[in-house]
Amino acid sequence: MTPEFVVGFAKEAIGLTILVAMPMLGLGLIVGLLISVFQATTSIQEMTLTFVPKILAVFFGLLFFAPWMMEKLITFTEKIINNIPIYIR
């Protein structure tokens, strides 16, 4: 294994991690912004008001995006396992 291979492998793994996490992070961000705007317009400053909607949005996003996420992760894992003989040369 060359240093270039290790860096490329790490780059691909980090990129996949970011890609898979992005839908849930994006939903949490959007819901958080909407709740913040609601709190600012109504002058309700309850700290716990933001947590439940964000958790629900991330949970439903996870249910919706789980097949896509699993397909990406399985493809990456299969690629790694199939290329083990090449990696150990």
pLDDT digits (tens, 9 = 90+) for 48-88: 888 899 999 999 999 999 999 999 999 999 999 999 998 88
What is the domain count for the chain?
A: 1
Is 57 in contact with 29 (CB distance < 8 Å)?
no
- pLDDT at residue number 78: 96
The dihedral through the CA atoms of 70, 73, 76, 79 has a sign that is negative
- Global confidence as pTM: 0.79
* Cα 25 → chain centroid: 6
Whether residue 25 is predicted with pLDDT greater than 80 in this model: the reply is yes
Interatomic CA distance for residues 73 and 67, integer angstroms: 10
Which domain does 28 fall in, by range?
A: 3-87
- pLDDT at residue number 3: 86
